[in-house]
Amino acid sequence: MEFDLSQEQESFRKVMREFAESEIRPYASEWDDKKTFPLHVIKEMGKMGLFGLIFPEEYGGSGADFTTFCIAIEELAKVDSSVAITLSAGVGLGASPVYHFGSPQQKDEWLPKLCSGETLGAFGLTEPDGGSDAGSTLTKAMRVSDDEWSISGAKAYITNSGTEITGFITVTANTDEGVTAFLIPSGTPGLRIEPAYKKIGWHASDTHGVVLDDVRVSNSAILGTIGKGYAQFLATLDEGRIAIAALALGLIRGCRDEAVAYAKSRNAFGGPIGRYQGVAFKCADMDVDVEIVRSLVYKAAWLRDSGRAFKREAAIAKLYSSEAAMRAAKDAVQIFGGAGYMDETSVARYYRDAKILEIGEGTSEVQRVVLARQLGLKP
């Protein structure tokens, strides 16, 4: 068994770490406080080729493996989850469906701009009345002619849907043939982006509701196969769960490092608080979870890169890592005490950012359903 990353991957990690430390960490608290989407940083990430990492060179990508992509997500999330999820969603939910299911024309039109970071794509699956029950899509697409569709409905909690560089939103809609995916360019008449949500975390990430009111598109807007849209997006979510686990890994590392540093520097009762088991053991538990989650993330990524089945491993990585992130964030805040409850501390931001990891890309309960079915059970 080989646990080491390649020399190229280690070099890439070093570049990502330096970028995160110099261009994101100093400003993350301010972006969080002001709920600012850091467009200039996202554009710089585009210039670095991060949005094109896993896509072929013919579209402006790097042709890297998914493991390398996870390295990028992990290092970004160690300092700021909002920037990390912008990249994760931009690649996994925006560009990947176009790459995997798009027509040659759709790929030629969109992938070069997505790979360069010039454009972000959004993924509209969740609805106001359908989160985990995403198969019960209420949005409808009706044929009005041989080459025109009318789409009406609403989508909720859509990442990267309202930025200045959002180029399109892919939505699922019910048709006579079943759930079908449609790629709808920004600015299409009838497509309305709702005001940004007031979230408890991910403040520097762009998230909106989307309303479709008689949106008219041609057959060229169909992404993939008519009636297969739901299955297509389930496949997309499997990769996304590995990326969310990588994000959780970065957050756990951030919590551990902040907690250890504070435990060494904060003095009480005549010495550093890290000399007490109540504090030291919490730090030790975080370190254990870093190693467990790292193994889960990179095994799932390796399976994906090897062309092997990875649904089970993606669900395990996502489930364990998200719940471990919540534990780490809670314990880090506890170690910081009153200071940890103040918004200006990194651990307070980690605490608020961690909760969504148990919800997005499939809740913890959904992951347990997936895993139970892998065991032949039918909950």
Q: pLDDT category, 131, cuts 50, 70, 90? A: confident
Contact 158, 210 (CB under 8 A): yes
pLDDT per position as a tens digit, 84-117:
999 999 999 999 999 999 999 999 999 999 999 9
The CATH code that applies to domain 121-228 is 2.40.110.10
pLDDT per position as a tens digit, 270-295:
999 999 999 999 999 999 999 999 99
Of 133 and 363, the structure prediction assigns the larger pLDDT to 363
What whole-number distance in Å separates Cα of residue 192 and Cα of residue 161? 10
Percent of the chain past pLDDT 70, that is, above it, reads: 100
User: Taking the alpha carbons of 318, 211, 229, 94 in that order, is the dihedral positive or negative?
Assistant: negative
CATH topology of domain 230-374: Butyryl-CoA Dehydrogenase, subunit A; domain 3 (1.20.140)
pLDDT of residue 138: 95
Contact 167, 186 (CB under 8 A): yes
Contact 92, 84 (CB under 8 A): no
Q: Give the predicted TM-score (pTM) of the model.
A: 0.96
Contact 179, 137 (CB under 8 A): yes
With a CB cutoff of 8 Å and minimum separation 6, the contacts of 13 are 5, 71, 75
Contact 265, 273 (CB under 8 A): no
7-120, superfamily in CATH?
Answer: Acyl-CoA dehydrogenase/oxidase, N-terminal domain (1.10.540.10)
- Active site (annotated) includes residue 361: yes
pLDDT of residue 307: 96
Contact 189, 215 (CB under 8 A): yes
Domain with CATH 1.20.140.10 in the chain: 230-374
pLDDT of residue 136 exceeding 90: no
Task: Give the other-Cβ count within 10 Å of 190's Cβ.
Answer: 15
Question: For 279, phi and psi rounded to 5 degrees?
Answer: -90, -50
- How much is the mean pLDDT over the chain? 96
Single out the catalytic residue among 74, 109, 239, 361: 361
